[in-house]
Amino acid sequence: MLLDKLINYLKLDKQEFLFQFNSHPNYPSALAFSDTLNFMGVRNDAYELDKEYWDELPEEFIAIVDNSFSIVKKSGNQYSIYSDKAKTLNKEELHQKATDFVLLFEKDKAESKSVTSYKPFVYGIFAIALLYSVLTQTWYEALFNLLSLTGVYISLEIFNQKFGNTSVVIGSICGDTAGNQSVNSCNKIITQDKTSILGLKFSDFSLIYFIGITILGLFLPTTSLVVKGFSFASIIAIGYSLYIQGFVEKTFCRVCLLIISILLAQLFISAFLFENIYFDTGIALLSLILWIVLFSSVLYLNNTLEEKEKLQKSNAKNLKFKRNYDLFKRELLEKEKVTFTNNETFFIGNKDAKLHLSIISNPYCGFCKDAHKIMENLLEKYPEYISVQMRFNYSPDQQNEKFTNLISDFMYTYKNKTSDDFLKLVDYWFETRDENKIRQKAGAVSGIEDLTPLVEMSAENRNEGLNFTPIILINGYQFPDKYDREDIYYFIEELMEDEETNNEIVSDL
Q: Average pLDDT, whole number, for the chain?
A: 81
What is the number of other CB atoms lying within 10 angstroms of the CB of residue 100? 14
63: which strand partners? 70, 102
**CATH label, 119-309, candidates 3.40.50.720, 1.10.10.10, 1.20.1440.130, 1.10.1510.10:** 1.20.1440.130
Would the pLDDT of 506 be above 60? no
Lowest mean pLDDT of 91-95, 157-161, 185-189, name the range: 185-189
Query: Which pLDDT value is given to residue 104?
Result: 82
Question: Residue 43: its pLDDT value, please?
Answer: 75
pLDDT tens, position by position, 166-182: 666 776 777 654 434 34
pLDDT confidence of residue 362: 87
Domain borders along the chain are: 4-110, 119-309, 327-508
- Name which residue leads in pLDDT, 256 or 10: 256
Beta-bridge mates of residue 478: 473
Please tell me the distance from the alpha carbon of residue 60 to that of residue 89, in angstroms, as a whole number: 14
For residue 267, which of 297, 289, 235, 309 has the smallest C-alpha distance?
Answer: 235
Residues 6 or more apart whose CB falls under 8 angstroms from that of 258 comprise 154, 173
For residue 63, give the 3-state DSSP assignment. strand
pLDDT over threshold 80, residue 10 = no
Which are the contacts of 455, defined by CB distance < 8 A and separation ≥ 6?
394, 395, 396
The total number of residues shown for the chain amounts to 509
> Residue 5's pLDDT is what?
65
| DSSP annotation of 5 | H
Using pLDDT thresholds of 50, 70 and 90, give the confidence band for residue 323: confident
Q: Identify the pLDDT of residue 3.
A: 65
Pick the CATH number of 4-110 from 3.40.50.720, 3.90.70.10, 3.40.50.2020, 1.10.8.50: 3.90.70.10
- 179-188, 273-282, 312-321: which range is least confident on average? 179-188
Q: CA-based Rg of the chain, rounded to a whole angstrom? A: 31
Which of 24-33, 93-102, 319-328 is least confident? Answer: 24-33
**Does position 304 have pLDDT exceeding 90, yes or no?**
no
Q: For residue 17, is it left (φ>0), alpha (ψ between -120 and 50) or beta?
A: alpha
Phi first, then psi, for residue 367 (nearest 5°) are: -85, -10
User: Is the confidence at residue 113, as pLDDT, over 70?
Assistant: no
Mean pLDDT of 343-366: 88
Rounded to an integer, the average pLDDT of 433-442 is 88
471 forms beta bridges with: 360
Dump the DSSP string for 234-283.
HHHHHHHHHHIIIIIS-S--HHHHHHHHHHHHHHHHHHHT-------HHH
Beta bridge partners of 88: 80
CA dist., res. 86 & res. 190, Å (int): 25
**Residues 6+ positions from 12 with CB-CB distance below 8 Å:** 40, 42, 113
User: Which pLDDT belongs to residue 118?
Assistant: 66
Sign of CA dihedral 53, 58, 60, 62: negative
Name the pLDDT band for 152 (thresholds 50, 70, 90). Answer: very high
- The rounded distance, in Å, linking the Cα atoms of 327 and 294 is 49
Q: Is a pLDDT exceeding 80 seen at residue 444? A: no
Q: Which residues of 6-18 are buried (b: 16+ CB within 10 A; e: fewer)?
A: bbebbebeeeebb
Confidence label for 33 from pLDDT (cuts 50, 70 and 90): confident
Q: Report the CATH architecture of 327-508.
A: 3-Layer(aba) Sandwich (3.40)
Percent of the chain with pLDDT strictly greater than 90: 21
